[in-house]
Amino acid sequence: MPRQEPKLTYQQRKVARDLATKRRQSLWKDVDDIMTFVHEEAHRLGKLWKKRPETILHMCYQKGRIAKKRRGIKVDNAARQVDGWLEGRKLALNEEEKDIFKRIKVELITLGGPEKASQLPEDLQSFLKEKALAFREHKNTAASVSMKAIVQDTSSTIQSITAEIMSLNKRTGIEVFLFAAKSSHEQSTPRFYFATPKAERYVLHGMKKHSVDISREFEAFVSNNMEGLIRNHNDRLKDVKMKIRNEILTGHQNITGHMKLDMHFSKYNKLIVAKHGVQLVNWPEKIPFVNSSNITSIHSLNALLIALIHSNAEKRCRWVKLTVEEWERRKEEVEETDRTAGPTQRKRKRNCAIVNSEDESSESEGEQQEPLPKKPKKAKTTSNKENVLHTEKTTFKAKTKKTADKNRDFVADKKQKEG
């Protein structure tokens, strides 16, 4: 039979409730004492470091600061940060560390993605964990600890800048206008605009815009990433095509080990698959398998670029090595295709008459069309030029004679009237 809880009387339950209330009150009193001590220390540190007490408290309340849990670092999570380290979005690296990260990236591509990072050598795994731990410690001690602290820092800095600008304007007469806006929707920093008197009049009368409208447009441009709407369409196409080409070539060169290889879309099966034993998988179905320079749609190019840099290795468009059996089968397919097609012949221009389908049907199959006789070339002579010059001279003489006759008739009529 299951164990039954003892039944308490009314008096016993009352005593238990009183004891629980006293324990809870004692616990909260101790917590209040700790918070009082924390606030006193925040005021003391604020005076010492010339910071607001709220800033110190936010630094104390930062995630993982009060009750910090030493969570272990998994090697696959550390391997997903390799691109960030190489692109400079983490901590600074020396040349030796960069070479190690490049080696790790090549190894991960060979293994099939960061999920297989546990198969890396032990020295590379320990290096990844060490760097991930260093970056975690750096985040815990970073300057920007909370959104409120960021807003306070931004406001105080801009106030100092505007005070310096006004002082500079009074001393030298230099005119300035300044815009400030948040870079993402996650921030709550308000947009800011400042201008000296003449700069304000220029914005209003010269640019024909109000400062509020310019600030709003600037914030929309920065926070919504509207750079693509302003830049030239051809420039955007050029940038996306270059990124696609670099992703494909880098993956191709890393998996084959040859740094001077190029991509051949027209002879992909022969020069890439059959020759090196690699193939490109997860290519988007709605995008033709051609060189990116032959794709003119910005939407298709963006879709292809997203597929090439997808965070999930299984869905990413990437290079993979073929098995020995698959490689041999693809080689045989290419050889069979070459034998079936035969030797390629250069197309030569035919200098013959073009006949209609009706004329072709009337002729026998054995007859061949005779080429048309070439037109004789005209000899280069100066007769045309001489004819033109002769015509111009004749026209000029006729006009001159007609004008002289009119003048003579006019003079004769005038003399007759005077006589």
Domain membership of residue 166 as a residue range: 156-230
86: nearest Cα among 73, 74, 77, 95:
95
Residues 241 and 318 in one domain: yes
Q: Is 216 a domain residue? A: yes
Give tens-digit pLDDT for 49-76: 888 888 888 777 765 555 444 567 888 8
Residues 260 and 334 in one domain: yes
Residues 96 and 16 in one domain: no
Residue 141 confidence (pLDDT): 55
Gap between the Cα atoms of 60 and 46, Å rounded: 13
Provide the domain count of the chain.
4
Residue 4 confidence (pLDDT): 65
Residue 378 confidence (pLDDT): 53
Give tens-digit pLDDT for 194-253: 888 888 888 888 888 887 788 888 887 777 655 555 556 677 788 888 888 888 888 888
| Per-chain mean pLDDT for the chain | 77
Gap between the Cα atoms of 70 and 74, Å rounded: 13
Residue 352 confidence (pLDDT): 47
Residues 287 and 335 in one domain: yes
Residue 146 confidence (pLDDT): 63
Residues 240 and 337 in one domain: yes
Residues 241 and 220 in one domain: no
Residue 344 confidence (pLDDT): 60
Question: Using CA of residue 307, residue 310, residue 313, residue 319, what is the dihedral sign?
Answer: positive
Residues 169 and 250 in one domain: no
Residue 349 confidence (pLDDT): 57
Residues 240 and 335 in one domain: yes
| pLDDT digit string (tens) for the chain, length 419 residues | 456 666 778 788 888 888 888 998 888 888 888 888 888 888 898 888 888 888 888 777 765 555 444 567 888 888 888 888 888 778 778 888 888 988 888 888 888 888 888 888 888 888 988 888 888 777 655 554 566 777 777 888 888 888 888 888 888 889 998 888 877 766 777 788 888 888 888 888 888 888 778 888 888 777 765 555 555 667 778 888 888 888 888 888 888 877 777 788 888 888 888 888 888 888 988 888 888 888 888 888 888 988 888 878 788 898 888 888 888 988 888 888 888 876 666 566 555 444 444 444 444 444 455 555 666 655 545 455 455 455 655 666 666 777 777 777 777 777 777 76
Q: Is 392 a domain residue? A: no
Show the tokens assigned to 342.
């035969």
Q: Is 279 a domain residue? A: yes
Q: Is 413 a domain residue? A: no
Q: Is 415 a domain residue? A: no
Contact assessment for residue 252 and residue 321, using Cβ atoms and an 8 Å cutoff: no
Q: Is 272 a domain residue? A: yes
Residues 200 and 252 in one domain: no
Residues 132 and 88 in one domain: yes
Q: Is 302 a domain residue? A: yes
Q: What is the dihedral of CA 215, 218, 224, 228, to 10 degrees?
A: 160
CB atoms within 10 A of CB 199: 19
Domain boundary among 140, 172, 195: 140
Domain boundary among 341, 365, 390: 341
Gap between the Cα atoms of 338 and 332, Å rounded: 10
Residues 214 and 239 in one domain: no
Residues 250 and 321 in one domain: yes
Residue 247 confidence (pLDDT): 87
Domain boundary among 230, 261, 291: 230
Task: Residue 195: give its domain's CATH number.
Answer: 3.40.1810
313: nearest Cα among 117, 128, 129:
117
Q: Is 276 a domain residue? A: yes
